[in-house]
């Protein structure tokens, strides 16, 4: 299949998508919908736009006339990208510059390049004179980077996610990811009592108590059992703000905590395990900002094997892996009950970084592998 991939086409679509600013916040994924429609129109796609907030648009595209005798494969890709700090970039974040076999720009790896490869795979099959062995449905969604509330989460809740399997072309280096940790983001509000800065023991310092919480939580070991693909759960205290002035004992301090959890851990479990490590004498409130359950698919599931076989047949040597972070695959696995595999071009090391890039060879390989998958799923 690789010899049938048009590298200029897949690079061109990657560049066209990267040129559209969909930084989240605010998202504005609607700006990319026209380009996605144009890319899929040659395949007689039927389109539905799904929007629950202004500009936060997801596109559902069913390729050709569905055949009820065939299984349905969902391709789920997010159109939003993380914000850009222009000061750290040598290449234009929205320029899609091609240099030494790499395409640079925000979203090249995460994950507009993966979307472009999934579309190019349809062209590959057409050049091969064949059709997909399955119904192919694209879900090009909003808001993955900020938790999926306006995207896949909402699609599942509305009953829009229906299929027999799901491919998520997030950057994995074309390894086959079947498990990912869950995410708890919490804000801890620590309460103190102000006093003059020259008499610190006349007050109660919220900053001092927050420091104790940081020491209790940050990088704490929550113990065994280890997960074969995901290791152990983690906690990161990533943001802390507090106090009102150098000459006043801090009356308040707020920290943001990022906790990654393993399959089977509920929101209540995750919160209780945090609170169990905090000194009960400290006065605080804990508010959950985001919670997403961990998810996993049996590594020996037939769909995982099919994805792996497609990558191997196109020249890859994929590993079965887990991810320490979360993707929209969790909604598909957990809430929709559909087997989902994450497998895409580029590396997670390039995602969310300065001068994000994807190699052209990776885009070509992904296009060929997805074409193989389309031609074998349901055959």
Contact call for residues 209 and 376 (beta carbons, < 8 A): no
Question: What fold does the segment set 2-180+294-376 form as a domain?
Answer: Aminopeptidase (3.40.630)
Question: What fold does the segment set 182-292 form as a domain?
Answer: Alpha-Beta Plaits (3.30.70)
Which residues in 38-76 are b (16+ Cβ under 10 Å) and which e?
Answer: ebbeebebeeeebbbeeebbbbbbbbeeeeeebebbbbb
Instruction: Taking residues 279-297, report their average pLDDT.
Output: 96
Contacts of 105 (CB under 8 A, 6+ apart): 15, 18, 19, 91, 92, 93, 94, 95, 96, 97, 356, 357
With cut-offs at 50, 70 and 90, classify the pLDDT of residue 325. confident
CA nearest 120: which of 231, 8, 10?
Answer: 10
Compute CA 106 distance to the chain's CA centroid, rounded to the nearest angstrom: 14
For 373, phi and psi rounded to 5 degrees? -65, -45
* Mean pLDDT over the full length of the chain: 96
Residue 223 clears pLDDT 80, i.e. is over it: no
Helix (H) or strand (E) holding 237: strand 234-242
Residue 275 is classified by DSSP as: H
Instruction: Indicate the domain borders of the chain.
Output: 2-180+294-376, 182-292
Residue 152 clears pLDDT 90, i.e. is over it: yes
Residue 312 clears pLDDT 90, i.e. is over it: yes
CA nearest 333: which of 183, 98, 209, 153?
Answer: 153
CA 356 → CA 50, 82, 285, 352, distances in Å? 29, 11, 38, 7
With cut-offs at 50, 70 and 90, classify the pLDDT of residue 81. very high
pLDDT score of 224: 73
For 354, phi and psi rounded to 5 degrees? -65, 145
Cα separation, 59 vs 45, in Å, equals 11
């Amino acid at each position: 299949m690789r010899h049938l991939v048009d590298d200029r086409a897949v690079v061109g679509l990657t560049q066209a998508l990267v040129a559209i600013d969909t930084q989240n916040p605010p998202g504005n994924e609607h700006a990319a919908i026209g380009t996605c429609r144009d890319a899929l129109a040659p395949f007689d796609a039927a389109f539905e736009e799904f929007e629950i907030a202004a500009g936060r648009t997801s596109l559902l595209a069913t390729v050709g006339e569905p055949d009820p005798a065939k299984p349905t494969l969902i391709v789920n890709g997010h159109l939003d990208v993380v914000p850009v700090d222009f000061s750290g970039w040598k290449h234009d974040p929205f320029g899609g510059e091609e240099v030494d076999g790499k395409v640079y720009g925000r979203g090249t790896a995460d994950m507009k390049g993966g979307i472009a490869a999934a579309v190019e795979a349809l062209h590959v099959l057409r050049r091969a004179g064949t059709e997909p062995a399955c119904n192919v449905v694209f879900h090009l969604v909003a808001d993955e980077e900020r938790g999926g509330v306006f995207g896949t989460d909402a699609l599942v809740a509305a009953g829009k996610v229906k299929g027999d399997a799901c491919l998520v072309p997030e950057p994995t280096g074309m390894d086959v990811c079947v498990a990912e940790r869950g995410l708890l983001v919490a804000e801890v509000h620590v309460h103190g009592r102000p006093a003059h800065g020259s008499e610190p023991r006349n007050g109660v310092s919220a900053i001092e108590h927050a420091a104790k919480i940081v020491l209790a939580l940050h990088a704490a070991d929550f113990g065994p059992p280890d997960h074969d693909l995901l290791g152990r759960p983690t906690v990161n205290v990533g943001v802390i703000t507090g106090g009102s002035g150098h000459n006043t004992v801090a009356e308040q301090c707020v920290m943001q905590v990022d906790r990654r959890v393993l399959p089977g851990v509920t929101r209540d479990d995750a919160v209780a395990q945090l609170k169990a490590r905090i000194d009960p004498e400290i006065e605080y409130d804990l508010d959950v900002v985001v919670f997403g359950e961990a998810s996993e698919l049996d590594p020996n599931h037939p769909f995982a094997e099919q994805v792996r076989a497609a990558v191997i047949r196109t020249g890859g040597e994929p590993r079965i892996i887990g991810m320490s972070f979360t993707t929209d695959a969790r909604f598909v696995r957990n809430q929709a009950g559909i087997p989902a595999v994450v497998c895409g071009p580029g590396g997670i090391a390039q995602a969310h970084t300065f001068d994000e890039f994807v190699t052209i060879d990776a885009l070509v390989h992904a296009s060929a592998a997805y074409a193989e998958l389309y031609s074998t799923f349901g055959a």
